[in-house]
Amino acid sequence: MPQVEDNVGHQVELERTEVAAVVALFDDRLAETRAQLVGTLATPADGAAEAYERDLAAERLAREVRRLEGAEGGLVFGRIDLADGTALRIGRLSLQREEDELPALVDWRADAARAFYEATPVHPMGLRRRRHLRLAERTVVGLSDELLDGSEPTAEDVVGDGPLAAALQERRTGRMGTAVATLQTEQDAIVRSSHRGVTVVQGGPGTGKTVVALHRAAYVLYAFPRAAERGVLVLGPNARFLDYISQVLPSLGENDVILATCAELAGPLLGLNGDGEAGAGRAGGAAGAGGTAGAAPGAVVGSPEAARLKGDAALAEALAAVVRGRQAPYGGFTVRVGKEDVHLGEAEVAQARDAARTNGLAHHRTRGLFKELLVDAVTSALAREAAETLERIDAEVEALTGLDLDRFAGADPRNLGLEGDPADTGPKFDMDAMRAELLDDALVERTVEELWPHLTPGAVVDALLADPEALAAHLPGFTAEQHGVLLRTPGAPWTDADLPLLDEAASLLDGPPERTFGHVVVDEAQEFTALQWRMVLRRCPGRSMTLVGDFAQAGPATTARGWHEALDPHFGGRFDLRTLTVSYRTTEEILATTRELLARIAPDQAPIGSIRHGEEPRTREASPAGLTDAVLAEVREQAAAHPGELIGVVCPDASVPALTEAGVTRHARLLPASEARGLEFDTAVVVDPDAITAARPGGDRDLYVALTRATKRLCTVVVREG
């Protein structure tokens, strides 16, 4: 049909000219901002205040340059034509020519762009046509139209294959790309939701939960300036996953986002060093999205059973009890003032402790109050004693001489060399000076330290976990066997599961962390334990969050089986729960083979459908001794048959060394089943499913994750005896 092709060519040509003008405008803006940055940096500053102002301005401009640079690829991707003939181009940011009334480019998050995502033939939202543009570098190379008002296509419309189909056909690269041009209506409704509190998104594998979460973060930064001021934190399950998603937000023009695992969040805070396993394997990509939360925390991986127990909310209460137990639990307080010992009895000390605690501050701040109250009590005791001594002298003098000393002093105690308010009935000393002196006194400080010591988070956690008696006393709901699992050797390396405990202890000692965020995204949120939720909440005082996950994919540390069970203790049921229903990754054929498994691990979950179709999943058999060779043969064959495509080999964690040794990584990405969550490949090779299932508690959910990673084909290598 040469006529149609000519027409497509003509329309592409027209768009090319129009888009080139938008790109030129963008280039001007970028060049202008870069020039401003150079100019600002070169401006001499007269004094520290000016230098500070200049550096702030430079920082703002540098951020803007980064934002523009991030948006450059795929700057323009859509166009909407309204029924009245107005056309708007949709892209990664807004651009406006001064002389024009209409914007040259509308940011995809702006209200004006809403119809691009939400209009359907049933609800055209005033649109006649939605056009998707395909760009190579900065040039339009293709387009496709959807007519929404029921009109017949004219010579100016190019109605063809949907852009989503084209996007999904693309080969996997090992890095998630943005879906900004093809967000689907059910996804867009969540991304653009005006709900400012907690939004929870559930859905089966590949339904776009991560896509939605990241685009939602970009939307929040755009639409809610208050949240944007304090920045966005994206939490993911491991470094591999963060690396996989690290480019999405920068490509949406958002660089000021912190990507981290929960462990990384706690690690730097506690000053742990970065030579451990957690956080390893990050290819530096995450830094592209504004950097991670800091160095890898130097923690090792503990057992799943310990992780599950250490995530229990009872541990938070136990740590609080440990800290309370270190706050003047018993005993009086004696301090030497001059030549005299002043003693406060146990009841007086307890009164000071209870009064200090009423303000609800953390241990060290409360310690300061406690010390002040003790010093107040000592000062009052001294004042009382001085007054009594004086009265005694008065009485003795009067008895001996018949002189009334008060009258003699003209009712002003200063006449007797004592400070005091003339309105007071009794004499006083300089209370303030005495107080200040006592607060500064090294001996007083030492005595307070015995009653209410300075503590470190590590010492608090050790006081619980390294002491069998403390475990039994503070965790009465746990069995002796569970106490045994929790018991640790003091000084042993911290595990990943200890980090939320250390963070909890840090907050008990010094209050919530200084760095907080306006919005927090949690991916694979089903993995989070109660202690981890507490960590997240401490960092998001505004409670603006997007949490996405799937309980059928929960790891071994998860005890909850649904959102309300997991979240109600922390959010009191106040969250907006949305469900995604269509898989854009896992093919219908692969989903069909996992349905039985899904029914077993999550009987309440409705199976999802997929818009993808692919090959029937295959099984390859191997003898126990021949497993490694069989995997190697499979990846070699796949690599030869589908050059350039991404192959992922998901194996039992224990098989990683042998498969690496055999050279599997020359042809494929190799990952332990425990770290496959959220990732995807063109082809997935799942090694020894029985061993994956048996490897750790909840292993059948690990297997479900492994089986749902492929966009095209799945091969399972099973072990057969004999």
List contacts with ligand ATP (CB under 6 A).
Answer: 164, 167-168, 176, 179, 182-184, 187, 203, 205-211, 550, 553, 584-585, 678, 680
Q: In the complex, what is the shortest distance from the CB of residue 629 to ligand ATP, in angstroms, rounded to a whole number?
A: 30
Q: In the complex, what is the shortest distance from the CB of residue 650 to ligand ATP, in angstroms, rounded to a whole number?
A: 12
Give the 3-state secondary structure of 687-721. Answer: ECHHHHHHHCCCHHHHHHHHHCCEEEEEEEEEECC
Q: Does 699 carry a binding-site annotation?
A: no
The token pair at 470 is 């403390």
* Residue 150 backbone dihedrals phi, psi, to 5 degrees: 80, 0
Nearer to ligand ATP, 324 or 561 (CB): 561
Nearer to ligand ATP, 206 or 285 (CB): 206
Per the CB < 8 A criterion, the answer to whether 564 and 504 are in contact is no
Q: In the complex, what is the shortest distance from the CB of residue 251 to ligand ATP, in angstroms, rounded to a whole number?
A: 12
Q: Alpha-carbon distance 461 to 497, whole Å?
A: 12
The token pair at 345 is 């009895």
Q: In the complex, what is the shortest distance from the CB of residue 72 to ligand ATP, in angstroms, rounded to a whole number?
A: 20
Q: In the complex, what is the shortest distance from the CB of residue 281 to ligand ATP, in angstroms, rounded to a whole number?
A: 19
Q: In the complex, what is the shortest distance from the CB of residue 278 to ligand ATP, in angstroms, rounded to a whole number?
A: 20
Query: Please, which residues have CB within 8 angstroms of residue 136's CB and are 6 or more apart in sequence?
Result: none
Nearer to ligand ATP, 348 or 680 (CB): 680
Q: Alpha-carbon distance 390 to 372, whole Å?
A: 26
Nearer to ligand ATP, 210 or 628 (CB): 210
Ranges assigned E (strand) in 68-183? 76-82, 87-91, 106-107, 127-136, 139-147
Per the CB < 8 A criterion, the answer to whether 468 and 481 are in contact is no
User: Which residue carries 């003509």 as its tokens?
Assistant: 10
Q: Alpha-carbon distance 526 to 554, whole Å?
A: 6
Q: In the complex, what is the shortest distance from the CB of residue 299 to ligand ATP, in angstroms, rounded to a whole number?
A: 24
Give helix then strand counts, H and E, for the chain. 28, 20
Q: In the complex, what is the shortest distance from the CB of residue 84 to ligand ATP, in angstroms, rounded to a whole number?
A: 29
Q: Does 206 carry a binding-site annotation?
A: yes
Name the DSSP letter for residue 171: P
Q: Does 366 carry a binding-site annotation?
A: no
Nearer to ligand ATP, 168 or 223 (CB): 168
The token pair at 510 is 């010094």
Q: Does 697 carry a binding-site annotation?
A: no
Nearer to ligand ATP, 213 or 465 (CB): 213
Per the CB < 8 A criterion, the answer to whether 575 and 200 are in contact is yes
Q: Is 152 helix (H, G, I), strand (E, B) or coil?
A: coil
Nearer to ligand ATP, 506 or 548 (CB): 548
Nearer to ligand ATP, 563 or 584 (CB): 584
Nearer to ligand ATP, 348 or 550 (CB): 550
Q: In the complex, what is the shortest distance from the CB of residue 683 to ligand ATP, in angstroms, rounded to a whole number?
A: 14
Q: Does 203 carry a binding-site annotation?
A: yes
Q: Alpha-carbon distance 335 to 296, whole Å?
A: 46
Q: Measured in whole angstroms, how far is the alpha carbon of residue 314 from the centre of its chain?
A: 23
Nearer to ligand ATP, 205 or 458 (CB): 205
Query: Please, which residues have CB within 8 angstroms of residue 123's CB and are 6 or more apart in sequence?
Result: none
Query: Please, which residues have CB within 8 angstroms of residue 141's CB and are 6 or more apart in sequence?
Result: 12, 134, 135
Q: Alpha-carbon distance 598 to 707, whole Å?
A: 11
Q: In the complex, what is the shortest distance from the CB of residue 176 to ligand ATP, in angstroms, rounded to a whole number?
A: 6
Q: Does 204 carry a binding-site annotation?
A: yes
Query: What proportions of the chain, in percent to the nearest 5, are helix, strand and coil?
Result: 50, 15, 35
The annotated binding site is made up of 203-210
Q: Which residues are annotated binding-site positions for ATP?
A: 203-210
